Amino acid sequence: MPESFIPTIRELEAFCELARSGTTHLAARRVNLSQTAVSRSVRALEDRLGVALFVRERQRMELSDAGRAFLPKAQDLLADLNAAAVGVMAFGGQSSVLRIAVLPSFGRSWLIPRLASFFAAAPGTSVDVAARLDPVDFAADPFDLAIQRTQHRSGDAHRLHLVDETLIAVAAPGLVGRSPLDDRDLLTLPLLQQTTRPTLWLDWFRHARLDPRRILRGARFDHFDMVIDAAVAGLGVALVPEILAREPLAQRRLVLASERELDSGQAYTLMYPERAESMPQFQRFRAWIRAEIEGIWA
């Protein structure tokens, strides 16, 4: 077996603390070791690497050129190990973890408010949810599934259609009143913009056979949930997926600004790699989300 040049964690900790404190006495206190153990660990690291990491200057140990080059890398290694450990500890007490990538607005407005019912259906399962706008590479990313639109193709991933994306125009009651407006009236109001999908209003007015250059452009926001919040605040009319606007519409925080709808040609899709098929927690999630989606239109 070839000789290993990989430092031990104790060696890295002793090296970093000695570099920070400058004396074996202080370093030993910070890593809860004896001075002898700190000195031995640093010497072992220097022997392993074949280079002196410190030089003695009066009563202090100062980093050599090699030590200064190695220090940031050693600190990063320890920080990454600590972050990984803390991340695993966060799931303590759970028998399984499901790692989910989801579009930010769908996650905030639709998925998260419903997760309590998933936990009830899958006791002992926790989730690790991350927002993703870009397609997920299941071969490289540590996700078990992704909820994205059809356009987010992901290699050989399996796909399960959830719901077509239908766009509706909504606004605060105080901005448009209680009755929907026609498209010419909409052109007189601030139209809120979604930064990553800037052509939505253009598509809307093209379908209405109106000149889209007459759009009174309103404030711009990164995500649909921010656009919805801006509409609730009365900042303008929002063109958003119907599935995301259902709750504020039901609560009368928003009203329909138009009776018309626009089919975006996209759909929200559950994507997953082959390996997820054998995971009980994924199987429960897939069954759960299908039931939730079907229940909306029941």
Residue 266 maps to a domain: yes
Round the CA-based radius of gyration of the chain to a whole number and report it. Answer: 28
Which residues 6+ apart lie within 8 Å of 81 measured at CB? 9
Q: Out of 133-147, 182-196, 202-216, 250-264, pick the least confident.
A: 202-216
147 and 270 in contact (C-beta within 8 Å)?
Answer: yes
Query: Which residues of the chain form beta strands (DSSP E)?
Result: 54-57, 60-63, 96-102, 125-131, 145-149, 158-171, 191-194, 217-221, 238-241, 255-272
Is pLDDT of 1 > 50?
A: no
> For residue 208, what pLDDT is reported?
81
Is pLDDT of 73 > 60?
A: yes
> Are 62 and 138 part of one and the same domain?
no
Write down which residue in 73, 89, 105 finishes a domain.
89
> For residue 256, what pLDDT is reported?
96
> Are 232 and 131 part of one and the same domain?
yes
How far apart are the C-alpha atoms of 254 and 192, rounded to whole Å? 14
Q: How confident is the model at residue 187 (pLDDT cuts 50, 70, 90)?
A: confident
How far apart are the C-alpha atoms of 26 and 146, rounded to whole Å? 48
Distance from the Cα of residue 39 to its chain's centroid: 43
The verdict on pTM exceeding 0.85 is no
Write down which residue in 57, 89, 121 finishes a domain.
89
Residue 131 to residues 26, 43, 112, Cα–Cα distance (Å): 43, 45, 12
Q: Give me the number of domains the chain comprises.
A: 2
The model's pLDDT over 18-43, given as tens digits with 9 standing for 90+, comes to 999 999 999 999 888 899 999 999 99
> Per residue in 196-225, is it b (16+ CB within 10 Å) or e — as a string?
ebeebbebbbeebeeeeeebeebeebebbb
State the DSSP string of 128-185: EEEE-SSPP-TTTS--SEEEEETT---TT-EEEEEEEEEEEEEE-HHHH-SSPPPHHH
Q: How confident is the model at residue 206 (pLDDT cuts 50, 70, 90)?
A: confident
> Are 232 and 127 part of one and the same domain?
yes
Query: Which residues of 93-132 form beta strands (DSSP E)?
Result: 96-102, 125-131
In 3-state terms, what secondary structure has residue 290? helix
295 vs 101, which has greater pLDDT?
Answer: 101
Q: What is the largest CA-CA distance in the chain?
A: 83
Is pLDDT of 261 > 50?
A: yes
Tokens of 184: 């010419």
> Are 237 and 184 part of one and the same domain?
yes
Residue 16 maps to a domain: yes
Residue 205 to residues 168, 228, 264, Cα–Cα distance (Å): 13, 20, 13
Angle in degrees, CA 279, 162, 275, rounded to 5 = 20
Is pLDDT of 144 > 80?
A: yes
Q: How confident is the model at residue 85 (pLDDT cuts 50, 70, 90)?
A: confident
Q: How confident is the model at residue 127 (pLDDT cuts 50, 70, 90)?
A: very high
Q: Count other C-beta atoms under 10 Å from residue 167's C-beta.
A: 24
> For residue 175, what pLDDT is reported?
92
Residue 44 maps to a domain: yes
Give, for 206, the enclosing helix (H) or strand (E). Answer: helix 200-207
Write down which residue in 72, 89, 106 finishes a domain.
89
Q: How confident is the model at residue 44 (pLDDT cuts 50, 70, 90)?
A: very high
Range of the domain at 178: 93-298
Residue 104 to residues 43, 63, 107, 217, 275, Cα–Cα distance (Å): 49, 45, 5, 23, 25
171 and 233 in contact (C-beta within 8 Å)?
Answer: no
155 vs 246, which has greater pLDDT?
Answer: 246
Residue 2 maps to a domain: no
Q: How confident is the model at residue 90 (pLDDT cuts 50, 70, 90)?
A: low
